[in-house]
């Protein structure tokens, strides 16, 4: 849980310049509910501020978690 909290803070700090954000998950082999919640929060924050947030480099395991949680319509995953 402490890793998820630090990751969440890092993502939200990247949103401070108020510009489009691409989150590269290529180094991530798995993700849990806390990680997914952080991604959803980043997307919602970006949309509220009027810019885009995309996810690149998601592994098959991460993509499966997104789909299992029915978040593919919320999160913008690119290859």
List, for residues 42-79, the tens digit of each pLDDT value.
888 888 888 888 899 999 999 999 999 999 888 888 87
Q: In this structure, what DSSP letter does residue 19 have? A: S
In order, the DSSP letters of 41-79 are: HHHHHHHHHT--EEEES--HHHHHHHHHTT-TTTS-B--
- Asked, for residue 40, whether it belongs to a domain, the answer is yes
**In the predicted structure, residue 30 carries a pLDDT above the cut 80:** yes
> In angstroms, rounded to a whole number, what is the distance separating the alpha carbons of residues 21 and 5?
19
* Number of domain units in the chain: 1
Which CATH number covers residue 36?
Answer: 3.30.750.24
- Asked, for residue 15, whether it belongs to a domain, the answer is yes
> In angstroms, rounded to a whole number, what is the distance separating the alpha carbons of residues 21 and 52?
6
- Asked, for residue 28, whether it belongs to a domain, the answer is yes
CA-closest candidate to residue 7, choices 35, 43, 47: 35
- Asked, for residue 78, whether it belongs to a domain, the answer is no
pTM for this structure?
A: 0.77
């Amino acid at each position: 849980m402490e890793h998820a909290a630090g990751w969440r803070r890092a993502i939200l700090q990247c949103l401070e310049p108020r510009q489009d954000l691409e989150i590269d998950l290529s180094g991530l082999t798995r993700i849990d509910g806390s990680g997914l919640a952080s991604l959803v929060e980043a997307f919602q924050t970006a949309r509220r501020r009027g810019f885009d947030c995309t996810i690149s480099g998601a592994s098959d395991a991460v993509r499966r978690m997104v789909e299992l949680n029915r978040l593919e319509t919320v999160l913008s995953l690119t290859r």
